[in-house]
Amino acid sequence: MTSLHETGVTVRAPAKINLHLGVGPVRPDGFHPLATAYQAISLFSTVTATPADDWAVTCTGQVGIDTAGVPLDDTNLALRAAKLLAREHGVDQPVALHLDKGIPVAGGLAGGSADGAAALLACSLLWDLSLPPARLLELAGELGSDVPFGLVGGSASGHGRGELVEPLEDHGRYDWVVLTFDTGMSTPAVYADFDVLHEGVEVPDPEIPPALVAALRAGDARALADAVGNDLQPASLRLRPQLAEPLRAGLDASAYAALVSGSGPTCLFLCGDPDHAASVAAALSPYGRALVCHGPVPGATVL
Ligand code: ATP
């Protein structure tokens, strides 16, 4: 029998959206406490880890995905994940990582974090480390605030910087249009503008709306539409006023809800079923790249 160690291990991890992003008051160290509800959606990155003489990372993009912005050096999150795991668990076996990305790069969909989560799981299996899920989550949190959710998937709450992840009960399937643009936005610039907008205002501690938790539990897309939200959206719209147009166009095309994803510029449109999503996507295509997908989907999974 061929062992995993010869053929390599392939793991697939999903993109994430923020159904709600609650942002708290900035602290002296510049940190904003978050209370967010994540959902994993059906855009995926796959990572294949194969034993090699030296550490290496290569990358391809699935149809329509431009991978020019993906670093192929030590800053690549998948490579950082593999090296962190090796260092922490005394492994002396370099791997070649191949990423096949179906998640738009720098679109606020945590594509790099998905690669990091997939690489952690792939390498832990390749090296037979038999780690408990809690240990992988701990390492994921060291890599970045969205990496733990890449492991957990589904629908989940995120606190702290977003790295303290707890699954949320979800009995629904939600059809989404994800509208991406060629030009990204700087996440630090959006947070800085959030601070400007809230100067002299007491910002409450962030919380996930109870109505959103109830909507997921009931699997009710209409109720979810009333509960989604993003505290960063006013800042994103100030920095990129043109986003107002596709948000309006999506609602005019009968999307249940339209919101900016995370710090933007990617926009999200909640729909009632796949046909509805296809018609909303057609209406949005003049503004950017409209991808039809659904959630929730599982976190990092071995293929
Ligand atoms: P952020 O988490 O910063 O909001 P994002 O979700 O908008 O990121 P990503 O696709 O994760 O978008 O890419 C953000 C940046 O992370 C890229 O511009 C790139 O420089 C860096 N990066 C590091 N590793 C990866 C990777 N494996 N894939 C994509 N980008 C990566």
Task: Using the predicted structure, report yes or no on whether residue 15 has a pLDDT greater than 70.
Answer: yes
Residue 199 lies in a domain: yes
Residue 42 lies in a domain: yes
- Answer yes or no: do 185 and 200 share one domain: yes
Domain boundary among 169, 190, 218: 169
Q: What percent of the chain has pLDDT over 70?
A: 98
Domain boundary among 139, 169, 199: 169
Q: How many CB atoms lie within 10 A of CB 128?
A: 10
Which residues does the annotation place in the binding site for ATP?
A: 104-114
- Chain segment 79-89, per-residue pLDDT in tens: 999 999 999 99
Regarding the beta carbon of 61 and ligand 1, being less than 6 Å apart is answered no
- Answer yes or no: do 65 and 105 share one domain: yes
Regarding the beta carbon of 177 and ligand 1, being less than 6 Å apart is answered no
Q: Global pTM?
A: 0.95
- Say how many domains are in the chain: 2
- Answer yes or no: do 280 and 250 share one domain: yes
Pairing of strands 95-101, 56-61: parallel
Regarding the beta carbon of 100 and ligand 1, being less than 6 Å apart is answered no
Give the mean pLDDT of 110-122.
Answer: 97
Task: Using the predicted structure, report yes or no on whether residue 1 has a pLDDT greater than 80.
Answer: no
- Higher-confidence residue: 106 or 147? 147
Regarding the beta carbon of 104 and ligand 1, being less than 6 Å apart is answered no
The DSSP output letter for 109 is: S
**Residue 2's pLDDT band (boundaries 50, 70, 90)?**
very low
Q: Looking at residue 5, what is its pLDDT? A: 63
Distance CA 180, CA 178 (A): 6
- Answer yes or no: do 12 and 125 share one domain: yes
Q: In this structure, which long-range contacts are made by residues 71-76, counting pairs with CB atoms below 8 Å and at least 24 apart in sequence?
A: 76/112, 76/115
Atom of ligand 1 nearest to the CA of 69: 18
Q: Looking at residue 231, what is its pLDDT? A: 97
Q: Measured in angstroms, how far is the CA atom of residue 173 from the centroid of ligand 1? A: 27
Q: Measured in angstroms, how far is the CA atom of residue 111 from the centroid of ligand 1? A: 6
Distance CA 265, CA 184 (A): 6
Quote the tokens at residue 138: 């701990």
**Residue 191's pLDDT band (boundaries 50, 70, 90)?**
very high
Instruction: Tell the residue nearest (CA) to atom 29 of ligand 1.
Output: 112
Q: In this structure, which long-range contacts are made by residues 238-242, counting pairs with CB atoms below 8 Å and at least 24 apart in sequence?
A: 238/193, 238/197, 239/185, 239/189, 239/190, 239/193, 239/264, 240/185, 240/264, 240/265
CA angle 237, 239, 241 (to 5 degrees): 50
Q: Looking at residue 131, what is its pLDDT? A: 96
Task: Using the predicted structure, report yes or no on whether residue 27 has a pLDDT greater than 90.
Answer: no
Regarding the beta carbon of 117 and ligand 1, being less than 6 Å apart is answered no
- Answer yes or no: do 124 and 211 share one domain: no
Task: Enumerate the active-site residues.
Answer: 16, 146
- Answer yes or no: do 95 and 9 share one domain: yes
Give the mean pLDDT of 53-76.
Answer: 96
CATH number, domain containing residue 287: 3.30.70.890
- Answer yes or no: do 12 and 156 share one domain: yes
Cα–Cα distances in Å, from 241 out to 68, 152, 208, 247? 26, 34, 26, 11
- Answer yes or no: do 17 and 115 share one domain: yes
DSSP for 235-258?
A: HHHHH-GGGHHHHHHHHHTT-SEE
Task: Using the predicted structure, report yes or no on whether residue 107 has a pLDDT greater than 50.
Answer: yes
Residue 9 lies in a domain: yes
Atom of ligand 1 nearest to the CA of 108: 7
Q: Looking at residue 184, what is its pLDDT? A: 85
- Answer yes or no: do 247 and 152 share one domain: no
Residue 300 lies in a domain: no
**Residue 4's pLDDT band (boundaries 50, 70, 90)?**
low
Domain boundary among 149, 169, 189: 169
Widest distance between CA atoms in the chain: 67
Which residues does the annotation place in the binding site?
A: 104-114
Distance CA 112, CA 180 (A): 16
Helix axes 77-88, 111-126, angle to 10 degrees: 40
CATH number, domain containing residue 38: 3.30.230.10
Residue 303 lies in a domain: no
Residue 232: name the closest of 214, 206, 201, 213 by CA: 206
User: What would you report as the CA-atom Rg of the chain, rounded to the nearest whole angstrom?
Assistant: 19
- Answer yes or no: do 23 and 156 share one domain: yes
**Residue 130's pLDDT band (boundaries 50, 70, 90)?**
very high
Q: In sequence order, what are the beta bridge partners of 179?
A: 267, 290
Residue 225: name the closest of 276, 174, 263 by CA: 174
Task: Using the predicted structure, report yes or no on whether residue 6 has a pLDDT greater than 90.
Answer: no
Task: Using the predicted structure, report yes or no on whether residue 106 has a pLDDT greater than 90.
Answer: no
Give the mean pLDDT of 263-285.
Answer: 97
- Ligand 1: which of 66, 77, 232, 240 to mutate, most ligand atoms within 8 Å of CB? 77
Q: Measured in angstroms, how far is the CA atom of residue 276 from the centroid of ligand 1? A: 30
Q: Measured in angstroms, how far is the CA atom of residue 283 from the centroid of ligand 1? A: 28
Regarding the beta carbon of 172 and ligand 1, being less than 6 Å apart is answered no
- Answer yes or no: do 178 and 64 share one domain: no
Give the mean pLDDT of 275-279.
Answer: 98
- Chain segment 245-256, per-residue pLDDT in tens: 999 999 999 999
Q: Measured in angstroms, how far is the CA atom of residue 275 from the centroid of ligand 1? A: 31
- Answer yes or no: do 275 and 211 share one domain: yes
Tell me the pLDDT of the chain averaged across its residues.
Answer: 95
What is the domain extent for residue 37? 4-169
